[in-house]
Amino acid sequence: MTVEVTGNQASKLKTNLSLYCVYFFTCLEDRTWAFCVSICMNIMGGMRMVSFEQFFEGILQMFFSVHLGKYFDRLTRKRAIMTVVPLNNLSICAASALVITCLFTDSTSSWYQIYLLIAMFLCAINQLFQSAEKTIIGKDWVMVLGGEKDLSKLNATLLTLDQFTNVIGPLIMGILVSWVGLSGMLGIFGVSSLVALILKALFLKSLYISNPSLHVKKDLGPKTINAHLNKSVLQTYWLQDSFPAAFGMSLLYMTVMGFGGLAVGYGSSSGLPGYIIGGFRSFGSIAAILGSLSYAIFEKRYGVNTAGLIGLIVQQTCAVLALVSVFLPGSPMNINGYLKDFTIENWSSSMTHSFDKKNKTGYDPHIDWSNFTSDGVSLTRLWCLDLAATHIMQITIPENERNTVFGMHNALCQTFSVFKDILVIVLPLPATFAICIFVSYGFVTTGHLCFVYYFVKSKQIDSLKKKA
């Protein structure tokens, strides 16, 4: 009996290590590449160029993420993961080569415009399959391997790994830029992506072979497949018990209050050096790691719904602090000055120059440090809330609809992210960034209210069940 238990423990440990390793490499290339792209786009066109690139990413995911998820639900897990991993890594290599070409091409040449557009398209393709890869591994495989018993622990560990890569990724990229330059960094990244492809393939093979539960999908008979195909993806998403929590989570993507590409562009346009921007992004990731660790504790002690509510309250507090920060001394906010000098000619001219390496977003040495700090602290409970919503979706979505629902969810998240990008394309200056923060706060608060609605509804349902 003792040998059998030890064998089971060893097998479980091997499974978890393989899962953690493959997810670590996936997240590391995702985080470092996203930071690298933001820096490159900002150098070539400022915050507006960053917004354009993210806009392309969001548009592609809006229209194809949901259909990709539905397609993967009809495939075996092996075939699905074998499709996304090579496309993910090879698109990074191709995009790296094209961005390097852009850096050494005259910006007035028509070839420069072509190379840049293709590179942005490949970056968007990469994000599409990067998201699909993280969904398959972090939402579907983890549910099969861990079950409901260990789900919260595994989710928290995977998120910790994700945020740890967000700590070291920007620092690594910052060091490489200082050491070998931007083009050298892109070359190193392209080669590293091929190495990561091989390593992920080895870990995935080990994980798949040692866990027969991954070889089959439940409820995947002909009747189930036909019923699944007859429902629209929007209807499938709407009918889920977790819809209010999921929709509330998607609203949080309509925000600039975080350390994404827009915050990187904002800091760079305001005069922050790369290592400072990387440091702040790492600070935000450390806060997110604390959020994931606290979620595991709160979920075990109070349950998933209450853990999410705790995260909501703290994040709302930090969002209010970020809102207040735009009025503090040192803030670059100057909305009246911007409106006074605004003309359609100047705006269209700056839009045009976004594509010719002329950064027209301006330079302002006054940094809104409090805004960066409150954004970072808010990530502590943002990811606590994110984990709660993800956990709720994983345990309530049927296995044969998991990729479809998460694909639709990702498409909806990217829809709101695209709205955010459009907002920043229209208002790219640090002087008008406060408007983006005001709008972001409205969407974040609405998302919180959706989760509160789910929380109250769940309490009522549980109460009725107890009475029955």
The whole-angstrom distance between residue 236's C-alpha and the CA centroid of its chain comes to 23
Domain extent listing, the chain: 16-209+232-467
What's the rounded Cα separation, in Å, for the pair 453 and 459? 10
Mean pLDDT of 260-270: 57
Give tens-digit pLDDT for 404-418.
899 899 889 888 888
pLDDT of residue 385: 79
Q: Are 244 and 453 in contact (CB under 8 A)?
A: yes
Q: Do residues 409 and 393 lie in contact, with contact meaning Cβ atoms separated by under 8 Å?
A: yes
Mean pLDDT of 394-405: 87
Q: What is the mean pLDDT of residues 205-232?
A: 70
Mean pLDDT of all residues in 90-102:
93
Distance CA 110, CA 108 (A): 7
Instruction: Return the pLDDT at 313.
Output: 87
- Please determine, for residue 379, whether its predicted confidence score (pLDDT) is greater than 50: no
- Distance in angstroms (rounded) separating the CA atoms of residues 306 and 462: 14
Cβ(268)–Cβ(430) under 8 Å? Answer: no
Distance CA 373, CA 287 (A): 10
Query: How many angstroms separate the CA atoms of 326 and 232, rounded?
Result: 43
Contacts of 461 (CB under 8 A, 6+ apart): none
Average pLDDT over residues 326-354: 70
Q: Is residue 339 pLDDT above 50, yes or no?
A: yes
> What's the pTM value of the predicted model, to 2 decimals?
0.73
Report whether 385 contacts 451 (CB < 8 A): yes
**Angle at the Cα of 179 (from 176 to 184), degrees rounded to 5?**
65
Residues with Cβ within 8 Å of 27's Cβ and at least 6 positions away in sequence, in order, are 134, 161, 162, 165, 166
- Letter for the amino acid at 104? F
Instruction: Provide the pLDDT confidence category of residue 320 given band limits of 50, 70 and 90.
Output: confident
Say which range, 204-208, 275-279, 367-371, has the weakest mean pLDDT: 367-371
Q: Which residues contact 48 (CB under 8 A, 6 or more apart)?
A: 350, 351, 354, 360, 361, 424, 425, 428
Backbone angles phi, psi at 130, to 5 degrees: -65, -45
pLDDT of residue 26: 93
- Tell me the pLDDT tens digit for each residue of 242-264: 999 999 999 988 887 765 555 65
Domain 16-209+232-467 bears CATH identifier 3.30.750.24 = no
Q: Alpha-carbon distance 458 to 309, whole Å?
A: 13
How confident is the model over 421-438, as a mean pLDDT? Answer: 78
Give the single-character DSSP code of 213: G
Q: Indicate whether 95 pLDDT > 90.
A: yes
Q: How confident is the model at residue 467 (pLDDT cuts 50, 70, 90)?
A: low
CA neighbor of 217 nearest in space, from 68, 78, 399: 399
Q: Residue 354: its pLDDT value, please?
A: 55
Q: Looking at residue 129, what is its pLDDT?
A: 93
pLDDT of 269 reads 56
Judge whether residue 303 has pLDDT over 90: no
Cβ proximity of 291 and 379 under 8 Å: yes
Question: Which two tokens mark 129?
Answer: 């399959």
Mean pLDDT to the nearest integer, 26-44: 86
Q: Cα(354)–Cα(421) distance, rounded to whole angstroms?
A: 14
Q: CA 234 to CA 184: how far, in whole Å?
A: 44
Quick check: 368 pLDDT over 60? Answer: no
Burial 393-409 (b: 16+ CB within 10 A, else e): bbeebeebbbbbbbbbb
Amino acid making up residue 78: K
